Amino acid sequence: MLDLKLLRNDPERVRRAIETKGESADLDALLALDERRRTILQDVERKKAERNRASEQIAGLKRSGEDASAQIASARRLGEEIKQLDEELRRVEADLDDGLLWIPNLPHETVPIGPDADSNVEIRRWGTIPPETFRPANHWEIGSELGLFDLERASRVSGSGFVFYTGLGALLQRALIQMMLDRHTREGDYQEISAPYLVRGESLEGTGQLPKLAEDMYRTGEDALYLIPTAEVPITNLFRGEILDAADLPRRYVGYTACFRREAGAAGRDTRGLVRVHQFDKVELVKFVRPETSYDELEALVGDAEAILQALEIPYRVLSLATGDLSFAAAKCYDLEAWAPAEQRWLEVSSCSNFEDFQARRIGVRYRDEEGKVRYVHTLNGSGLALPRVIAAMLELFQTERGGVRVPEALRPYLGGREELAAP
């Protein structure tokens, strides 16, 4: 959420952000509500002062035995007018709060300007795309042949977009999760946290998924809880409404969770394999930092995600997202994309974002600096990494002519020393 003072004092900057992010929020209507709110508050204060004066006059007239009926009628009229204004104020403030939820975060000045993903800027690449000595099978083909997962049976049980990981596939998934957690906690200075998979709606509002992405959420009926789309949501809400000490910052957390997304707007896209599924596993990185360090922390966050890809020997590229491809809540975001040779395309495996104080304002997470001033923290998060596309890239990159899949050396200790995934 943006500071309302920013909307008042620099509306054109906010208007540009709405336009370049491709949003449709009605800033003029919001500013009109803000103006009406301030007018009501002034009217209420004026009428309360008049009522106080009338009350004093009534008391004086009664003490002197004079008729106070006119003043009593005036005080009653003022009381009724104040009541009506208070009711209008509640309606206006509710509309104002709802409207603010639709105003996106402002892109950082270094974010490329452009309407969509075609305007993203490649920052760097790592690794060498291996020469094609034979035509690799698609990941869903080799995964099925090796008995790593079963998409057909999962579809019969839960519908399309779900996966049974079986045998070595289940072990591979668990091995990747453990490797990532170990590296982030032992080398990346992150504290591991195990988070709830169900959250309240206000938690999703706090991180910016609601109300904009309501159609992509799985919601329970009776309890009105939501299945998390990412561990970002519960972990970022960890200190909701709290004031932290400056000495406690930065705070860095890593958590593994399952993630759930309806992908309501993605019908017909990537329907085969692991690229777009409704339930998937992800290791998430979340930071609470001081504002002056947040962009250094963003670069470090990207480096922590890159380190996993490098350990897995997966060629990747880093993109700086353009305004039109930037999420609603992010001020700046880098995507990490792994190369999938069978599909001849890059697959997003991590997004690393700085939200500045946008989420902190919604959630109410602040800190007290050395001078005793209370300020909002900056929040960041990134995938470290999302598993389905990592697995897809590995199955396509490391296929052998024998029909197996080579295991990267860093992952072998987590797979009982296996050097290759082979057919059972």
| Active site residue ranges | 261, 276, 348, 351, 389
Q: Whole-angstrom Cα distance, residue 26 to residue 10?
A: 15
Give the SS3 label for residue 263. Answer: coil
Instruction: Give 332's contacts (C-beta < 8 A, 6+ positions apart).
Output: 107, 108, 110, 111, 295, 298, 320, 321, 326, 353, 354
User: Which strand (E) or helix (H) includes residue 151?
Assistant: helix 151-158
Give the SS3 label for residue 340. Answer: strand
Which phi and psi angles does 269 have, rounded to 5°? Answer: -105, 130
Which phi and psi angles does 209 have, rounded to 5°? Answer: -75, -35
Q: Which residues pair with 122 in a beta bridge?
A: 319
Q: Whole-angstrom Cα distance, residue 399 to residue 237?
A: 41
99: left (phi over 0), alpha (psi -120 to 50) or beta: alpha
